[in-house]
Amino acid sequence: MFEKRILLLGLDNAGKTSILFQMRDNQFKQTVPTIGLNIESLTHKRYMMTLWDVGGQATKLWKHYFDKIDGIVFVIDSTDEEKLLFARDEFNRLLRDESLTLIPFLILYNKSDMAEKSRSVEELNGRLDVEKARKEREIAVNKCSAQTGEGIWEGIDLLIEIFERRKNGAHLFPDLANQSQQQEDKSISKSLGMIKSSVAQDSENGGISVKETKMSTGRDNVKEQ
Ligand SMILES: Nc1nc2c(ncn2[C@@H]2O[C@H](COP(=O)(O)OP(=O)(O)OP(=O)(O)O)[C@@H](O)[C@H]2O)c(=O)[nH]1
Ligand SMILES: [Mg+2]
């Protein structure tokens, strides 16, 4: 079983909580605007996913949840012409955020059940400039409806395909992945170096005093350079 932390982001009223409840309960439930967040852990295929549904009214607070996440599901109301521009701004802000450089995205164009108002994937992709963003980021896209449930799991499966590819060492942007790996390795060996020298100092002062220094690298088999 693989554990993944996934953030559900998007403007208020996009349908994040409705999607989360549909995934959890297999039915459409009435929601109220989210103040704070909802968290649900769901198992799908070989993945244990913890989904963090963050309220869309306070977009400035999103960054507090960026640490240690594996994917972002960005939900857009496909029927809301007026809000598309704001959604694009927020989407671009996420793409520019340095701590998210390697994070894959799934964009869900929600409310597809409102057939008359719901825009096509092609049009929405164009409005968000998804093709441009895809030049340096893995972005899956799907239309869905939290009301009928259609398209949600299909979208999640696309995200899982990205996780699977990466697990097998096939990163779509290997240069970016390597660069970030090297930076991580450097900062880890720097920390290990600091621990070593502090232990050495202690033994010079006569006696071995082992300091309680716990480190979590987040990775196994870290090689020192
Ligand atoms: N027709 C239709 N309505 C939907 C769908 N998804 C959500 N809604 C409605 O859209 C409104 C907002 O849904 P929420 O799930 O609360 O939206 P949210 O993104 O969580 O909003 P915040 O918590 O404010 O960020 C509610 O009235 C939902 O019933 C959908 O797929 N189809
Ligand atoms: Mg909500």
Residue whose structure tokens are 């340096």: 136
Q: Which two tokens stand for residue 93?
A: 């802000």
Q: Is residue 163 located within the same domain as residue 183?
A: no
Residue 54 pLDDT exceeds 60: yes
49 plus 133 within the same structural domain: yes
111 known ligand binder: yes
**Has 57 been annotated as catalytic?**
yes
Q: What residues flank ligand 1, with Cβ below 6 Å?
A: 10, 12-18, 31, 33-34, 55-57, 110-111, 113-114, 145-147
**Domain total in the chain:** 2
The reply to whether 29 and 80 lie within a common domain is yes
User: Closest Cα to residue 99, out of 135, 64, 132, 138?
Assistant: 64
* One domain, residues 163 and 179: no
Q: Residue 11 CA: which ligand is closest?
A: 1
Q: Which two tokens stand for residue 142?
A: 């799907």
- The torsion angles phi and psi of 141, rounded to 5 degrees, stand at -135, 135
Residues 125 and 192 in one domain: no
Other Cβ atoms within 10 Å of 71 Cβ, number: 21
Assess whether 112 and 39 both reside in one domain. Answer: yes
Residues 207, 107 share a domain: no
For residue 179, the enclosing domain spans: 174-221
d(C-alpha 208, C-alpha 47), whole Å: 44
CA-CA distance, 23 to 159, in Å (whole number)?
A: 15
ipTM summary value? 0.99
Residue 107 is part of a domain; what is its CATH number? 3.40.50.300
Average pLDDT over residues 136-147: 97
Task: Write out pLDDT tens, residues 78-136.
Answer: 999 999 999 999 999 999 999 999 999 999 999 999 999 999 999 999 999 999 999 99
Q: Are residues 10 and 128 in contact, defined by beta-carbon separation less than 8 angstroms? A: no
Say whether both 124 and 72 belong to one domain. yes
Alpha carbon nearest to ligand 1 atom 12, residue: 13
Q: What is the pLDDT of residue 137?
A: 93
Same domain, 131 and 205: no
